[in-house]
Structure formats: structure tokens, C-alpha cells
Chain A
Amino acid sequence: MTPRTPRELACRELVQLVTDYLEGVLPPEEHARFEQHLESCKGCTAYLRQMRDLVRLSGRIRDDVIPPEAPRELLQLFETWKAQRS
């Protein structure tokens, strides 16, 4: 077997690995290549930052809703359940 010198990642490849990177599942060697590429690439650094921004933004959808009052049917459901228990 010939030892393989790690080839530098192209930006095009990096964008396909970004989720695995954020999920922490890249093999160590690949992880190192990923970070090495980031050091010298402003575009990919911005791309990764955008992905992180996006995850943060998606999480804000959760807080964007004012909880509605419990619907009447649910209260009815609770009362029926309660009556069955006693």
C-alpha cells in the first residue's frame, strides 16, 4: 500500500461535509483537513458561520409562538378521564 498524503479539500467538497463536521462525526483525519481548509479560506469560514446562524435562527421559530389556551375539547377530555377514574 502506498501511503496517501492528505490532499487539500476543495470548497466544493467542504460544503458537502459541513453537517458531518457540525455533528462531530467526521473521522479525525477528515476533521483535520476540514479545519485546515478553514484556516486559509474566508469563503468557507463564512459558509460555516452561515450554517451556525441558520441553526440558531431555526431555534427562534420555537420561541416565536404565544402558547394558545388549551382547547375546550381537551378540557372535556380531561373531565371524562377524571370521571372514569373515580
Chain B
Amino acid sequence: MLTVTGECVPEQLAQAAEAGSVDARVVQALRNGDERAFLAIVQCHQPAMLRVASTFVSSAAIAEEVVQETWLGVLHGLDGFQGRSSLRSWIFGILANCARSRGTREARSAPFSSFGAGDEDEPAVDPPRFLGADHPRWPGHWATPPEQWAEEKLATQETLKLVREAIEVLPRGQKQVITLRDVEGWTSGETCEALGISEANQRVLLHRARSKVRTQVEQFMQGGSR
């Protein structure tokens, strides 16, 4: 069961003591046909839903369709929501199902790189960064060691943009895993469940994704501003 953390609830309800009771009130309002409650919950989750959906399908337009289909599923499933998971987890579980089946349908008609691990021995760091295995004193140690990144530069919008772009161009499986784990802050269990992959596979994809993005950021941090 998805138990996505970091609840996002309409502000006026955020004070309530327990997330569970907030969910119950939101659900009740929705069941009563409260339009404002619907608008609030849509506004709250829509950006993340679009980000997650767009990692499964080929275009922003299709991602929007998936999200719309999800809301329809949410409304029609509302009477069956029992609060065993948080409302947010439940919504994202429906989203993952919709997105996954849409992605699978798409994959049948277009060639997509999927979770196939691909380039098996892809190193995390460019091999010339290390001394050779035959080095007399320090075999396999850094030839050009990484340096700590300057916080001022790291905190800029430009760096953030670079990270976003670097994630954008990753192979699909890597992009999905890093988006769910690092951008959305899901746990590995939640991510594996949503993507239907094993923990081990998930770690391989996460490792490759982070390694590639790190390389990009490192080049940027060392190279002055773009």
C-alpha cells in the first residue's frame, strides 16, 4: 500500500490534529459535492501529479489526460475510500495505475526504453578521474578528486534549472525513479510499488540517475556560470 509522506491539505484544515481526520473531512466534503474542497485538493496535488505522470508517458498533453483520468477515478472511488492509507497515497496509487497502463499502451505502438537496465557496467564516475589499477601507491584512487560545492552557487535558480534539465533527459526508468524518490520524496517501497519494480532494480536506476545528474552539476559548479 502506498503511504506517501508529506501530506498536502487545504490550508484551513492543516491545523487539525491528525492527518487521518483531515483526510476524513476532505473526503466527506467531496462526497457532499463541495466544489471548493475539490478545487483545493486539485490545486494542492496537481503539480506533483503532472510531474509523476509525465515520467510514464511521452508528452505533456498525455500526462494531463492521465491526471484527468485519475481525478475521475478518485471521484468514482471516493465511496470506497476507507482511510487505510492517506488520501494522498490513495490518489497517487490511482495515478500510478492510470499512468502505468497508459505508458504500457504507448510502449506497444512506439519504441521506448523501459526498465531494461541497459548499459550494464556504466560507471558512476568517468574512469579517467581515477588512477590506474597499476598505480604503485594509490591504485583506483582519485586522480582529480571532487571538491565540496559552494553553497551560494548551489542555491541558485540556475543550478536548480540545471538539475531539472539533467533529470529530464535521463532514460525513462532512471527518470521515474529519481523523480519519485528525490523530487517527490517518496520512500523506496512506495516507488517500487508504483513502478512495479524490485528494490534492487530501483537502487540500480537511482544510482545511475544520481550519478549522471551529479556529473552535470559538477561540471557546472566548476565551470563558472553558463
Give the residue name and chain of the B residue nearest to A68 (CB).
Answer: B46
**Would B68 and A74 count as touching, CB distance under 8 A?**
yes
Chain B residue numbers with a CB within 8 Å of A74 are 38, 42, 68, 71
Chain A nearest Cβ from B203, distance in angstroms: 6
**Would B142 and A43 count as touching, CB distance under 8 A?**
yes
Chain B residue numbers with a CB within 8 Å of A42 are 145
Chain A nearest Cβ from B81, distance in angstroms: 14
Chain A residue numbers with a CB within 8 Å of B164 are 61, 64
**With known contacts A46-B148, A69-B43, A75–B184 Cβ distance under 8 A:** no
Contact residues, B15-40 vs A (CB, 8 A): 33, 35, 38-39
As a 0/1 sequence over residues 50 to 82 of chain B, the CB contacts with chain A under 8 angstroms (1 = contact) are: 010000000000001000100110011000000
B182 within 8 Å of A by Cβ?
yes
Contact residues, A38-53 vs B (CB, 8 A): 41-44, 46-47, 49-51, 53
**With known contacts A15-B125, A20-B203, A54–B148 Cβ distance under 8 A:** no
As a 0/1 sequence over residues 198 to 214 of chain B, the CB contacts with chain A under 8 angstroms (1 = contact) are: 00000100110011011
Q: How far is the CA of A19 from the CA of B188 in the complex (A)?
A: 12
Chain B residue numbers with a CB within 8 Å of A67 are 43-44, 46-47
Interface size on B, residues (CB 8 A): 52
As a 0/1 sequence over residues 113 to 157 of chain B, the CB contacts with chain A under 8 angstroms (1 = contact) are: 000000000011101001000000001111001111100001000
**Would B146 and A43 count as touching, CB distance under 8 A?**
yes
**With known contacts A53-B154, A67-B47, A77-B68, A58–B183 Cβ distance under 8 A:** yes
B195 within 8 Å of A by Cβ?
no
**With known contacts A23-B203, A46-B147, A74-B68, A54–B213 Cβ distance under 8 A:** yes
Interface size on A, residues (CB 8 A): 46
Q: How far is the CA of A44 from the CA of B125 in the complex (A)?
A: 12
**Would A50 and B218 count as touching, CB distance under 8 A?**
yes
**Would B167 and A58 count as touching, CB distance under 8 A?**
yes
The one of A19, A64, A70 that contacts B42, using a Cβ cutoff of 8 Å: A70
Instruction: Name A residues whose Cβ lies closer than 8 Å to a Cβ of B.
Output: 10-13, 15-16, 18-20, 23, 25, 41-44, 46-47, 49-51, 53-55, 57-62, 64-65, 67-71, 73-75, 77-79, 81-82, 85-86
Instruction: Name B residues whose Cβ lies closer than 8 Å to a Cβ of A.
Output: 33, 35, 38-39, 42-44, 46-48, 51, 64, 68, 71-72, 75-76, 123-125, 127, 130, 139-142, 145-149, 154, 159-160, 163-164, 167, 178, 182-185, 188, 203, 206-207, 210-211, 213-214, 217-218
The 4 closest A-B pairs by CB, nearest first: A43-B145, A10-B140, A58-B182, A19-B207
